[in-house]
Amino acid sequence: MSTILFTSTQHAAHSHRHPEHAGRIDAILAAIAHDPTCVPMYAASAAVPTDTLMFVHPPSHIAWVESQSAYAESHPQLDGDTYILPGTGHAAHAAASAACNAVDAMIAGHTSFAVVRPPGHHATAHAAMGFCFYNNVAIAARYAQRVHGIRRIAIVDIDVHHGNGTDDIFAADADVLYVSSHGWPLYPGSGARDSFGTGAGYGATLNIPMPAQSGDGAFFHAYKNLVIPALERFRPELILLSAGFDAHWDDPIGNCRLSVNGYLDLCALIQQAATQLCDGRWAAILEGGYSLRALSTCAHGLVRSMLNLPRLPDPLGTTPSDPHRADATVDWIKTHHPLLIPA
Ligand SMILES: [Zn+2]
């Protein structure tokens, strides 16, 4: 049993003057490489067939990403937030592939981390948005179900933005629990506390809009009182972590105040839940994080915890925040969410 990092060099063909650029992956890999005690295994992502992307996205969306990539040279800006380049289609395919590779490794008994970009959690089945083209974590979840016969999956999204794409893809699905903690108000504006899922999936979506400037204490309180109890009630067979690190106080586009240790405390709770509930089956898939030093320190710390290595001192430190900032939100969700109210 080891920890395997899945990477791809194809991401570098999708890079622009933009917060979401190739230097993000370079910073993470450099931070890990500079730590002689932290030695995960590395594997190049192996491309999954286009059919696997179709577990989530219709052929029209995949064709659209590929055709827009081909056309992109003269029009790199797809919308106000998202750019597209000739290498984008291949980069996005490689990112989704690495997420599936991470699932294979997890099923084989390893812990794994897909260190990928472009990120995925804003991509809906039908649309690219918010720097995202294919929804990597959603494809990985469907891959676990269809290729490995797993039924019940929990996705925990710790990115500061609500993963509207992931939420939308699984809103009506009772077998996939989607949990998101996200800064509020913040892009994309979805993920209200009373959006619990729809139809058969009612109760299998847990959105925790964290008031802006929430920090370590408030996030830990929310995870201890909402996320962990929800996982215990849902009893997933595996957990996928949408590992965005833009809720760190140093992030230029986030609005929360987590420290590196605060982030790693949340990851440790998820790791413990995976150990207790699903034989240690969990995998992380990179999402956002735009302060290179916060992103790389958090991701490095996550890999160390996967390897069961002791935590290093946090070189960035903390910034003051009110530990009770999310109390009212947590209390409301605890008393209203169908998965959490006593039967
Ligand atoms: Zn984000």
The string of pLDDT tens digits covering residues 140-159 is 999 999 999 999 999 999 99
pLDDT at 71 over 80: no
pLDDT of residue 93: 97
- What's the chain's Rg over C-alpha atoms? 18
Instruction: Give me the percent of the chain exceeding a pLDDT of 90.
Output: 91
pLDDT at 323 over 90: yes
Establish whether 14 is a catalytic residue.
no
Q: Classify residue 90: in a domain, yes or no.
A: yes
Q: Classify residue 178: in a domain, yes or no.
A: yes
Q: Classify residue 194: in a domain, yes or no.
A: yes
pLDDT at 43 over 70: yes
Q: Which amino acid is at 196?
A: F
pLDDT of residue 76: 77
How far, in Å, from the CA of 201 to the mean position of ligand 1? 24
Q: Classify residue 342: in a domain, yes or no.
A: no
Q: How far is CA 252 from the centre of its chain?
A: 18
Catalytic residue among 57, 121, 122, 182: 122
Coil, helix or strand at residue 238:
strand
CATH of the domain at 205: 3.40.800.20
User: Residues 258, 262, 264, 266: what is their CA dihedral angle, to the nearest 10 degrees?
Assistant: -90
Q: Which amino acid is at 171?
A: A
How far, in Å, from the CA of 245 to the mean position of ligand 1? 7
Domain limits at 225? 3-336
283 pLDDT band, cuts 50/70/90, is: very high
How far, in Å, from the CA of 160 to the mean position of ligand 1? 5
Q: Classify residue 343: in a domain, yes or no.
A: no
Strand order across the 282-286 sheet: 41-44, 3-7, 111-114, 282-286, 238-243, 153-157, 176-184, 205-211
- Which residues touch 149 (CB under 8 Å, ≥6 apart)? none
Q: Classify residue 341: in a domain, yes or no.
A: no
Q: Classify residue 173: in a domain, yes or no.
A: yes
Peptide bond into 338 cis (omega under 30): no
Please tell me the total count of domains within the chain.
1
pLDDT of residue 18: 87
pLDDT of residue 16: 86
Cα 338 from Cα 168, distance rounded (Å)? 18
pLDDT of residue 75: 63
pLDDT at 232 over 70: yes
Q: Classify residue 11: in a domain, yes or no.
A: yes
pLDDT of residue 169: 98
User: Residues 277, 44, 81, 65: what is their CA dihedral angle, to the nearest 10 degrees?
Assistant: -100
pLDDT of residue 74: 62
Rounded to an integer, the average pLDDT of 2-30 is 93
Cα 52 from Cα 184, distance rounded (Å)? 33
- Which residues touch 72 (CB under 8 Å, ≥6 apart)? 84, 85, 86, 88
How far, in Å, from the CA of 198 to the mean position of ligand 1? 24
How far, in Å, from the CA of 287 to the mean position of ligand 1? 7
Cα 326 from Cα 212, distance rounded (Å)? 9
Instruction: Give me the percent of the chain exceeding a pLDDT of 70.
Output: 99
Cα 177 from Cα 154, distance rounded (Å)? 5
